[in-house]
Amino acid sequence: MKITPLVLHHDRKTSLAGLREAFDAEPASPPKITFRQYTDLDSEARELYDQAREDFLRLTLRVKTREQTVCARILEDLIRINPRLKNSRRGLMISAPMFSGKTELALLLARSVERRHAAQHPDYLRDGDAPVVWVEMTEHSTGKALLAQIVEFLAPTIVLPKQIATDRLRKLAVEALHRHGTKLLVIDEAHKLGGTEPSSVIKALQNESCATVVLVGINLDQAFKTGDGLQVSARCDFVTLDKIDPAVQEDFEQWIKWVATFDSFLPLCGHAHGLLTRNAGTLVHAADGKLAVLAMIVDRLVASILRDESRTSETVTRERLFGVLDTLRRTTLNTHNVTLDDLVDAA
């Protein structure tokens, strides 16, 4: 068995090379082996195998959401329509509380746009196309800072004058987006851009560039509710990522599908799915109905098993799952009242 380790060179998505590395970082699941075969590996091979399993879980294993389908359809239409408009180009807002998976959803959508462009234009890298630009705002970011990020994303070697005027910077950003054929501009943490000046910049980008703007953040309806911000909101489709309500049948059925997907593909030696799925009702309360928290639970469960050097199996048990849930409420803001007795064994 040969494992090729995944090598990552970039720490962030806010550079062209880093974003493309994030798009490509989808390692396949390593070959399934028994726990006996695992223990027969030498220490270096076990370490590589464990890293490959964790990479698959964290970077590749995903569940499909209703919002993903809705956003993908909206984006496909906007990317097709916006280049043919001369003003009032439309965008998309993805708004959700913390731990709702909004950035992950945006990354999935951006990856899809990049790959669709690659399929249509096989030589796009050689031609210098950048179908997707990704920027991320920090606290009290300004519209000028947003424009500078766009320019530096597309021209990483450029040195911008400290006193450059916003209008000049806007022209540089719009020209760069056009020159590189950008179809999608993702602005993450967009709630930190509230206010007149950032909103006017975003509105100008929508007017002057045919790139479709996607704003991702917390309570975006509140961040962009006055003046130019209201105009930006009016030009955007608005998608919220609400947490699952177990009392709503459609919601709970969606939750069960998510849990079953993770359960079926856990990269553990000798894993037989069943226990996680049987405890879906308890997990929805432990995770407060949030997909990102469910993913964290699964990640911590696998990590806790792989870090147990005295283990004699990698079977998911009630005790192992409860250990993760108990630690979760002690080390995160996600509190719950789940006890060991609330969990059931696999059938």
Written as six digits, the tokens of 331 are: 């080390």
pLDDT at 4: 85
Specify which residues 236 forms β-bridges with: 91
Side-chain-side CA neighbours of 86 within 13 Å: the count stands at 0
C-alpha 178 chain-centroid distance:
26
pLDDT at 290: 93
pLDDT at 217: 96
pLDDT at 334: 84
**Regarding beta strands 91-95 and 212-217, do their DSSP bridges make them parallel or antiparallel, or are they unpaired?**
parallel
pLDDT at 317: 96
- One digit per residue, the tens of pLDDT, for the chain of length 347 reads 788 889 999 999 999 999 999 999 999 999 999 999 999 999 999 999 999 999 999 999 999 999 999 999 999 999 999 999 988 899 999 999 887 889 999 999 999 999 999 999 999 999 999 999 999 999 889 999 999 999 999 999 999 998 999 999 999 999 999 999 999 999 999 999 867 899 999 999 999 999 999 999 999 999 898 888 999 999 999 999 989 999 999 999 999 999 999 999 999 999 999 999 999 999 999 999 999 999 999 999 999 999 999 999 999 999 999 999 999 999 988 889 999 999 999 87
pLDDT at 162: 87
- Ordered domains of the chain (ranges, CATH): 66-240 (3.40.50.300), 244-347 (no CATH)
pTM: 0.92
pLDDT at 2: 81
Closest by CA to 260, choosing from 55, 88, 63, 5, is 63
How far apart CA 57 and CA 49 sit, in angstroms, is 12
